[in-house]
Amino acid sequence: MTAPSPTSPPEIDSSGRLPLFILFGGAAFWLVLSSVFGLLASIKFHGPGFLADSPMLTYGRVYPAWANLLVFGFCIPAGLGVGLWLLARLGRAPLARPWLIAVGAKLWHIGVFVGLLGILSGDSTGHTWLELPRYAAVILFCAFVFIALWAFATHRARADRDLHPSQWFVLAALFWFPWIYSTAILLLEVFPVRGIVQASIAWWFAGNLLGVWLPLVGLAAFCYFVPKLTERPLQSRYLALFAFWTLILFGTWTGIPSGAPLPAWMPTLSGAAAWLMLVPLLTVAVMLVQTISGAKTPCAGGPLCYVKFGTWSLVLSGVLLAVAALPQVSRVTEFTWFNHAENALRIYGFFAMTMFGAAYYILPRVTGAEWPVARFVRGHFWCGVVGTLLLFAPLAIGGVVQGARWLNPEITPVDVSKATLMFLRLSTLGDLLLLLGNLLFLVNVFALIARHCRAMVRVLYADAVAPLEPSEVKP
Amino acid sequence: MKSAALVFLAAFLALSASWGGFVLAPQLQLGRGAQAKALITEDLYPLARPGLARQGLEIYRANGCMYCHTQQVRQEGTHVEIYLTEGGTNAAGVLAALQRLSPALARSETLDSLPVKVVEVEDMVAADRALKTLKDAGGKAETVIVPTGADLARGWGRRRTVAQDFLYDQPVQPGVMRIGPDLANIGLRPYDADWHYRHLYAPASVVENSKMPPYRYLFEKRKAGAEPSPEALKLSGAAAPEDGYEIVPKAEAKALVAYLLNLRAEAPLFESPYTPPPASAPATNAAPTTAAVP
Can you give the CATH number for the domain in which B162 is found? 1.10.760.10
Q: How far apart are CA A311 and CA A288, in angstroms?
A: 8
* The pLDDT of residue A408 is above 70: yes
What's the pLDDT band for A464 if we cut at 50, 70, 90? confident
| Domain-embedded: residue B71 | yes
Alpha carbon B253 to chain centroid, angstroms = 22
Note whether B212 and B88 are same-domain residues.
no
Note whether B70 and B89 are same-domain residues.
no
> CA nearest B70: which of A344, A329, A199?
A199
Interval B73-92 mean pLDDT: 86
Is the N-terminal amide bond of A236 cis, ω within 30° of 0? yes
pLDDT of residue A403: 96
Q: Among partner residues B11, B164, B216, which is closest to A176 by beta-carbon distance?
A: B11
Over the stretch A340-349, which tens digit does the pLDDT of each residue have?
999 999 999 9
Looking at B114, B148, B182, which one is the last position of a domain? B148
Q: At what angle do helices A337-344 and A374-406 cross, to 10 degrees?
A: 160
* The pLDDT of residue A474 is above 70: no
Note whether B139 and B172 are same-domain residues.
no
What's the pLDDT band for A472 if we cut at 50, 70, 90? low
Q: What residue of A is the nearest CA neighbor of B14?
A: A249
Note whether B108 and B217 are same-domain residues.
no
From chain B, the residues in CB contact with A167 under 8 A are: 4, 7
Mark yes or no for CB contact B74/A259 under 8 Å.
yes
Instruction: Indicate the range of A3-17, A115-129, B17-31, B197-211 predicted with least confidence.
Output: A3-17
Give contacts of A 100-129 with B, CB under 8 A: 122-128
* The pLDDT of residue B293 is above 80: no
Classify A259 as helix, strand or coil: coil
| Domain-embedded: residue B277 | no
Please report, rounded to a whole number, the percentage of residues in chain B having pLDDT higher than 70: 94
Interval A232-245 mean pLDDT: 92
Over the stretch B209-243, which tens digit does the pLDDT of each residue have?
999 999 999 999 999 888 888 888 988 888 888 88
Instruction: Indicate the range of A48-57, B97-106, B222-231, B282-291 predicted with least confidence.
Output: B282-291
Interval B260-287 mean pLDDT: 74
What's the pLDDT band for B34 if we cut at 50, 70, 90? confident
Interval B12-26 mean pLDDT: 93
CATH number, domain at B126? 3.30.1390.10
pLDDT of residue B284: 43
Mark yes or no for CB contact A199/B153 under 8 Å.
no
Interval B138-164 mean pLDDT: 90
Mark yes or no for CB contact B179/A255 under 8 Å.
no
Most confident of A154-163, A272-281, B38-47, B156-165: A272-281
Note whether B134 and B170 are same-domain residues.
no
Nearest C-alpha of chain A: how many angstroms from B140?
Answer: 33
pLDDT of residue B249: 95
| Domain-embedded: residue B14 | no
Note whether B49 and B173 are same-domain residues.
yes
Over the stretch A122-137, which tens digit does the pLDDT of each residue have?
999 999 999 999 999 9
Interval A67-83 mean pLDDT: 97
Over the stretch A37-51, which tens digit does the pLDDT of each residue have?
999 999 998 888 888
Note whether B193 and B108 are same-domain residues.
no
pLDDT of residue A432: 96
* Structural domain total, chain B: 2
Alpha carbon A128 to chain centroid, angstroms = 17
Secondary structure of chain B as H, E, C letters: CCCHHHHHHHHHHHHHHHHHHHHHHHHHHHHCCCCEECCCCCCEECCCCCHHHHHHHHHHHHCCHHHCCCCCCCCCEEEEEEEEEECCCCHHHHHHHHHHHCHHHCCHHHHHCCCEEEEEECCHHHHHHHHHHHHHCCCEEEEEEEEECHHHHCCCCCCCCCHHHHCCCCCCCCCCCCCCCCCCCHHHCCCCHHHHHHHHHCHHHHCCCCCCCCCHHHEEEEECCCCCCCCCCCCCHHHCCCCCEEEEECHHHHHHHHHHHHCCCCCCECCECCCCCCCCCCHHHCCHHHHHCC
Mark yes or no for CB contact A414/B150 under 8 Å.
no
Interval B161-184 mean pLDDT: 93
Give contacts of A 8-27 with B, CB under 8 A: none
The answer to whether the beta carbons of residues A116 and A47 sit under 8 Å apart is no
Nearest C-alpha of chain A: how many angstroms from B12?
Answer: 8
pLDDT of residue A235: 86
What's the pLDDT band for B294 if we cut at 50, 70, 90? very low
Note whether B71 and B184 are same-domain residues.
yes
Nearest C-alpha of chain B: how many angstroms from A171?
Answer: 7
Note whether B65 and B163 are same-domain residues.
yes
Instruction: Indicate the range of B65-74, B99-108, B193-202, B271-280 predicted with least confidence.
Output: B271-280
Mark yes or no for CB contact A261/B21 under 8 Å.
no
Q: How far apart are CA A209 and CA B185, in angstroms?
A: 32
* The pLDDT of residue A473 is above 70: no
Nearest C-alpha of chain A: how many angstroms from B192?
Answer: 19
pLDDT of residue B291: 38
Looking at B131, B148, B165, which one is the last position of a domain? B148
Interval B154-162 mean pLDDT: 92
| Domain-embedded: residue B24 | no
Note whether B232 and B115 are same-domain residues.
no
* The pLDDT of residue B283 is above 80: no
Q: How far apart are CA A205 and CA A458, in angstroms?
A: 47
Mark yes or no for CB contact A180/B15 under 8 Å.
yes
| Domain-embedded: residue B6 | no
* The pLDDT of residue A114 is above 90: yes
The reply to whether B8 touches chain A by the CB within 8 Å rule is: yes
Please report, rounded to a whole number, the percentage of residues in chain A having pLDDT higher than 70: 97
| Domain-embedded: residue B181 | yes
Note whether B116 and B161 are same-domain residues.
no
pLDDT of residue B282: 46
pLDDT of residue B279: 67
What's the pLDDT band for B280 if we cut at 50, 70, 90? low
What's the pLDDT band for B281 if we cut at 50, 70, 90? very low
pLDDT of residue A302: 86
Instruction: Indicate the range of A103-107, A364-368, B33-37 predicted with least confidence.
Output: B33-37
| Domain-embedded: residue B274 | no
Give contacts of B 13-72 with A, CB under 8 A: 14-15, 17-19, 21-23, 26-27, 29-33, 61-68, 70, 72
Q: What residue of A is the nearest CA neighbor of B211?
A: A48
Note whether B82 and B103 are same-domain residues.
yes
Q: How far apart are CA A361 and CA B212, in angstroms?
A: 45
- Return the bridge partners of A128, or none: none
With the CA atoms of B8, B10, B14 and B20 taken in that order, what torsion angle do they form, in degrees rounded to the nearest 10? 60
Nearest C-alpha of chain B: how many angstroms from A386?
Answer: 25
Q: Among partner residues B15, B150, B162, which is closest to A406 by beta-carbon distance?
A: B150
| Domain-embedded: residue B117 | yes
Greater model confidence, B271 or A118:
A118
Looking at B86, B117, B148, which one is the last position of a domain? B148
The reply to whether B4 touches chain A by the CB within 8 Å rule is: yes
Domain with B190 in it: 36-75+152-261
What's the pLDDT band for A4 if we cut at 50, 70, 90? low
- The pTM score is 0.92
